[in-house]
Structure 1
Amino acid sequence: MLSRIAEAMYWMGRHIERADTTARIVDTYLHLLPSGTWKQENQIVRELVESMGLAEGTPDDPDLLIRALVFDGERASSVAGALIAARDNARGVRDVVPMEVWECLNVTWHGLRTRSTSAAGPHTFLRWVAERSAMANGLIDQMMSHDEGWHFLNVGRSLERADMTVRLLASATQGTGTPWRALVTATGGFEPFVRYHGENMGRRSALEFVLLDRRFPRSVFRAMNAAELSLAELEAAGANSYGDPRRDPSSARRLIGRVRTGLEYRSGPELEDELTTVLTTLQRAVENAHVAVTKSFFRQGDAVTWANQSTLGALA
């Protein structure tokens, strides 16, 4: 597979996941904050935004802040900007992705123009984004051959999912007062949590579910495991087509495998006691894995478009 195609697939996966997860997080907090108390609760949301590395260039005014995070098409980290970037990457590899996937992303791109100017408000827009992202991911998994292109996309999607979830967890552990129900809901896991654990949700149970659960597809463990499996498939397929002995296609898999193993055999009490170290290790592993994937498979790569790469450094 050509390097440019592999890179486009990788970033398409990251951008779709970024749009979906950011939409879930923003919609959850808008929904849970009591009506009329946004300005009083603005500090909580501001700290959440900062922990996700999205604060640079965002305004202090609450309404403008939401507009920047949701509707600003010039910011790749915003919901609209990520969808635009996903569509741009898909356009460059239309001969690789199924027509249904391209049409889904293209229709979504066209819909941004009218949805972003609608008077219905951000909640309606964000729900629409979640539905369109789910449709795109469903078509990718059900209509696309699980070949090298799909595995590159899955690596990008899985790394982005793990990174976003770790940043969300960081915001909930820095004394912001973030409710644990909001954290689990923002990952799309409230109903699965209640089904297996009941409605008695506390710090430990929420952390164990979001980080360690083996059944929930958006847990950090499942995301890291999915990335590791796809990287193993790419390594076996010889996806490093340049034949450069300095390139090591297994380096990213080793990085992810180490932290995935650390999660797999960590107990709940250990997780809570060592949470700061665990989150810092996970974030660094995702960042280093991205660098390793870029060096091993792509001619050149863009840095992850987080404004603040060292969010968790202050926790160490």
Structure 2
Amino acid sequence: MLSRIAESLFWIGRYVERADNTARLLDVHLNVLLEDPWVDEPSANASILSVMNIPHEDQVNRDDVLRKLAFDVGSSASIAGTLTAARENARRAREVISTEVWEALNTTRMGLPRWTRASRPHEYFVWVRERAAIVWGLSSATTSRDDAWHFMELGRSLERADMIARLLMTRNLEGTTGPNWTTLLRTCSAHEAYLRTVRALVTEERAAEFLLIDRLFPRSIAYNLDRAETILTEIEGSESNRVLAGRARLALGRARTNLEYSPVRDILDDLVPQMHEVQRACSTASDLIRDRYFLPAATVAWNQEAL
């Protein structure tokens, strides 16, 4: 597979997943602002932008958050920007992805303008989540389990681990008590799975353990870190090609084992730094994957000699 095609597929996976999880994060953030009577809204808004690594002023209102994270087509951190970028990457990889996936991404991009004027953001977030589910469903049903599938799934797994870490960081937003654990489970579409698995009422430690290290639930951080490691193993070729990919797997494995073998209470007491570690591991792995698979080979510079 050409490196440019692999890179486009990788970023389709990341961008669609980023749009999905940004919609979930914004939805829970706006609900907290509505439900918490003691919330310091400017501080909470500034904090959510910090979680997403968005530069901001000291005084941030709700419209600023929605503009930067929901409607800004030119930002790779906003929903509109990521869905636009996903469509452009799909166009570059058109000969590899199926017609159904291409049409789903193109239709999603064409439907964005009507939502920038929507007065009810919740409906926009629901639409984004539904469109992401359609893309992933069609991709799963129409893509052979070859390198095309592996690179898209690799991007998806890295982005999901990173974004779930950011979502958990909203528990510690400044100016508010943050969402409760039942809300976080519902935001991750994990509440029913939690009840079936744990068979107990939602408590802080049990819910955190489920979202952090459950090895069967596809939105837990450990599941996605392990998934990314597995995919890298499947992509790797001969031994000589495994150095950078092996380092990427090592970064992901360290983050995963740190979560799996640390007491949940210790992680909760140090939640933000722990989630930053997950994000750093995903960023390191992404950089190593880029260096290994996506950068073009060095070209030879020819110097014309004087005759």
Q: Does 1:46 find its partner at 2:46?
A: yes
Structure 2 residue 281 is matched with structure 1 residue 281: no
1:205 matched to which residue of 2?
A: 206
The equivalent of 1:192 in structure 2 is 193
Q: 2:152 & 2:50 partners in 1: Cα distance?
A: 27
- Deviation string for 1:84-109 (max 9, x for gaps)? 00000000011000110000000001
**Cα separation, 1, equivalents of 2:11 and 2:85:** 8
- TM-score normalised over the length of structure 1: 0.83
Cα separation, partners in 2 of 1:36 and 1:217, compared to 1, 3 Å? closer
Structure 1 match to 2:91: 91
Q: Deviations over 1:33-86 (max 9, x none)?
A: 436969744422431221221344797221232133111111111011110000
Q: Structure 2 matches for 1:274-313, cutoff 5 A?
A: 275=271, 278-299=274-295
- Counterpart code for 1:279: M
| Partner SS state of residue 60, structure 1 | coil
Counterparts of 1:80 and 1:58, CA distance in 2? 24
Deviation at 1:224, TM superposition (A): 0.4
Amino acid at match of 2:134: M
Point out the structure with the larger helix share: 2
Q: 1:206 to 1:55 in 2, by over 3 A?
A: farther
1:177-224 deviation per Cα after TM superposition (whole angstroms, max 9, x unaligned): 112333333322233223434673333222211111122211101110
Please say if residues 170 and 179 of structure 2, whose CA atoms lie closer than 8 Å, have aligned partners that are also in contact: no
Q: Which amino acid in the other structure matches residue 147 of structure 2? A: E
What percentage of aligned pairs have identical amino acids? 38
The aligned counterpart of 2:248 is: 252
> Is the 1:25–1:187 Cα contact (8 Å) retained in structure 2?
no
Q: Report SS of the residue matched to 1:74.
A: coil
Judged with a 3 Å threshold, the aligned counterparts in structure 2 of structure 1 residues 171 and 125 are, in CA distance, closer, same or farther, namely: closer
Aligned residue runs from structure 1 range 10-29, under 5 A: 10-29=10-29
Sort the Cα spacing of 1:234 and 1:62 in 2 relative to 1 into closer, same or farther, 3 A.
same
Matches within 5 A, 1:96-245: 96-119=96-119, 121-173=120-172, 176-181=176-181, 182-197=183-198, 200-236=201-237
- Do the aligned partners of 1:15 and 1:86 also contact (CA within 8 Å) in 2? yes
Deviation at 1:290, TM superposition (A): 0.9
Q: Secondary structure at the match of 1:27?
A: helix
- How many residue pairs get aligned? The number is 294
Structure 1 residues 48 and 183: alpha-carbon distance in aligned structure 2, compared to 1, 3 A threshold: farther
For structure 1, the residue ranges without an aligned partner over 5 or more in a row are: 301-316
Q: What is the root-mean-square deviation in Å for CA atoms of aligned residues?
A: 2.8
Q: Tell me the distance in 2 between the aligned counterparts of 1:60 and 1:41.
A: 8
CA contact (8 A) 1:180 1:206 kept: no
Which deviates more from structure 2 when the two are superposed, residues 197-206 or residues 86-95? 197-206
How far the C-alpha of 1:11 sits from its partner, in A, is 0.8
Residues 275 and 128 of structure 1: CA distance in aligned 2, closer, same or farther (over 3 Å): closer
1:133 alignment partner, SS class: helix
Select the residue among 256, 260, 264 that pairs with 1:264.
260
Gaps of 5+ in 2: 297-307
**Are the counterparts in 1 of residues 229 and 252 from structure 2 also a CA contact under 8 Å?**
yes
Identify if the C-alpha distance between structure 1 residues 146 and 59 changes in structure 2 by more than 3 Å, giving closer, same or farther: farther
Q: 1:136 to 1:59 in 2, by over 3 A?
A: farther
**How far apart, in 2, do the equivalents of 1:79 and 1:216 lie?**
25
